[in-house]
Amino acid sequence: MIKGLYYRLAKNGIKNNRELYLPFTLASSGTFALFFIILAMAMSETFANIDFDGMQHIQSVLFLGSIVVGFFSIIFIFYTHSFLIENRKKEFALYQVLGMEKKHIRLILIWENLILYIRSLIGGLVIGTLLYKVAETLLFKLAKQSVESGFLPNFTAFKFTIALSAFIYLIVFLNSIRKVQFTKLIELLNQIDAGEKKPKINWVFFVLSIVLLLAGYYLAITSNGPIVALKRFFIATMLVIAGTEFGFIAISVFILKNLQKNKKYYYKPKNFTNVSGMIKRMTKNGVGLANITIIATAVIILISTAVSLSSGIKEMIKTAMPNEISIKTDRESFSNAKEKVYSILEDENINYKNKSNIRNISILSSKNDGEIVPDNRSVIEKNTMLYIFVPVEDLNENGQDIKLSENEIKIFGDIDKINKEKIKFGDIEWKIIDKEKEVPIDGIITLGSNLIIVAIPEIEDIDRIGNELEKLNFNQYIESKIGFDTDLSKEKSIELSDKIKSKLQISNSGYMMIQNRYEETDILTKLIGGVVYTCLFLGLVFMVALALIIYYKQLTEGYEDLKLFTVMQNVGMTKTEIKSTINSQIKMVFLIPLIVAGVHMAFAFPMIRQILEIFYITDTSLYIKSLIVSLVVFVLIYIFIYILTSKTYYRIVTSRE
């Protein structure tokens, strides 16, 4: 009988507070569904059996995405459930007044959390199972795959989803107990009525926040090259997140208190109520605004990255594959392979163009003013020089007209970096007789390093360079490439590649391999499709979380401002003035996260732009356009959420009219 009473009280508590619990249950179900779907795809045997090596990379990205979603689910559900408990404290205090002990409230909370857990889990698994096939089909389309698979997802995903949801609700329950157990009855009764104390500036958090933010911004804007940017990205992100969380309240209160000191500004009716109201709001809701800012920044980064990658596939292919067909071989096989390739083209009566037959050796130098100092680690620095030495006969065969004597060279590329008249490497010294900025070779990927193409007199000079590298215990990287374009269709071009491959007995392993731009385009499109899908999927997760956090924020502030709304009327302010003041405050509250997110993005821009170079996207204007599109889309969604949730706020604060 008594046990049944606690169950009924828990059930009635959820029912009577459906405005709080219904969105929470739906959001929890949606979060579990999204985690279930992305994990099920990451573990799908269908994906693993697809005859496409890139699918393994896509599954790896999906698996990392499931970890992100799982970790975020813990924070998100814990955070949103805290809103619920804060709004239920007075109800729990009433139970104690009626004679209940805290152990009885614990039993009610056990039933409440159990009911919420079962509903959220069942909802999440049902939604996830129903939408899994849709999500899988969409990914296959983006990855250009046509695959038949079963309806039911991987069973292991069910087990992990059940385990994750149980762990989250255990944490939620323990937090609920903590809030009730360690709060005295008189505090529970007075907590809501007492209102918020005027916050003081927490100087420790203020200084810590500034330090963390500046450190994160510094790492972002001083990244020297894509590899450095990629390595620093996680650290910079954590610093900015921590700085935002620590400092949102402290910095906001600091600014508002300084506005209070400005008498000309502060002692005006509208400014007086706005500033004092904003200071009051920042105590409890500053953390919520910080979370909104962080999520907003994450969504913008994810969407802009997805748009950049999907829009930049052509640029990636052009950079990675300057020729329609290219054959890479070792130096010894180069001449024989070149003769056979062009013999095949003549026998088949195939017109070819943009011929590119190049032998070269590359050295990455940690110095950039004519003295070559090889350093394997220097690939992570942007101020390094990538020297590529090419015999003059190969450059002349590809359209140049260069004449060199012994130990004379001509350089191309970032020639402004070379102020000396000579280039020296070990015991070798060359005299520079000419410089030209336009690079005579396409398809060179420097990953942020400065590029110098060096025309050398003889092919034997490559051996001299190789010997010097051997003395320094550095690996030699000598590449020989035969490349050309045709006017053939995709099918005919691939057929020609297969024929060349067969004639040269290329196994695409060891020192000889052949690549076709059409085939590489298909592979890259599939890979990018998987990455774009994961970015958009995570963006959706964060947008759902953002909407719910804003909803609960409006709900909480609505109940907090209900009495304030009445007091304002009693002291003589008209309803129009009150609504104008409240509307102004809400707009400020919603505008602040956008402004701060914009600042975060401004500092993150150089880092993200450099990371995209790893995907061969070097066109800065492309990312700028993608960023603008993403910002517009996000702001429109953000405004829609604001309008939708504001109705809840206004309905609460005007409920006593």
As a whole number, the mean pLDDT across the chain is 79
pLDDT at 22: 81
Spatial neighbors of 275 by CB under 8 A, at least 6 apart, are 256, 259, 260, 266
Considering the chain, what percentage of its residues have pLDDT values greater than 70?
79
The answer to whether the beta carbons of residues 440 and 415 sit under 8 Å apart is: no
Confidence at residue 217, expressed as pLDDT on a 0 to 100 scale:
93
Instruction: State the pLDDT at residue 347.
Output: 87
pLDDT at 568: 64
Instruction: Work out the pLDDT band at 10, boundaries 50, 70, 90.
Output: confident
Q: Please choose, from the candidates 616, 522, 633, 629, the residue with its C-alpha nearest in 3D space to the C-alpha of residue 309.
A: 616
Cβ atoms < 10 Å from Cβ of 225? 22
pLDDT at 189: 55
| pLDDT for residue 544 | 80
Most confident of 96-100, 118-122, 224-228: 118-122
pLDDT of 549 > 90? The answer is: no
| pLDDT per residue as tens digits for the range 494-541 | 999 988 888 887 665 555 788 888 888 877 877 787 778 778 878 887
Q: Can you give the pLDDT at residue 192?
A: 47
Residues 361-368 have a mean pLDDT of: 79
Supply the pTM of this predicted model. Answer: 0.74
Q: Does position 543 have pLDDT exceeding 90, yes or no?
A: no
d(CA 581, CA 276): 11
| Rg, C-alpha atoms of the chain | 32
Q: pLDDT value at position 1?
A: 45
Give the angle 92-96-101 at the CA atoms, nearest 5°: 105
Distance separating alpha carbons of residues 203 and 209, to the nearest angstrom: 10
Binning pLDDT at 50, 70 and 90, where does residue 216 land? very high
- Alpha carbon distance 521, 111 (integer Å): 56
Residue 163 has a pLDDT of: 92
Q: Report pLDDT for 167.
A: 92
Q: Is the model more confident about 533 or about 628?
A: 628
How high is the pLDDT of residue 569? Answer: 63
Chain segment 430-462, per-residue pLDDT in tens: 898 988 888 888 777 776 678 888 999 988 888
pLDDT bracket for residue 320 (50, 70, 90): confident
In angstroms, the first-to-last Cα distance of the chain is: 42
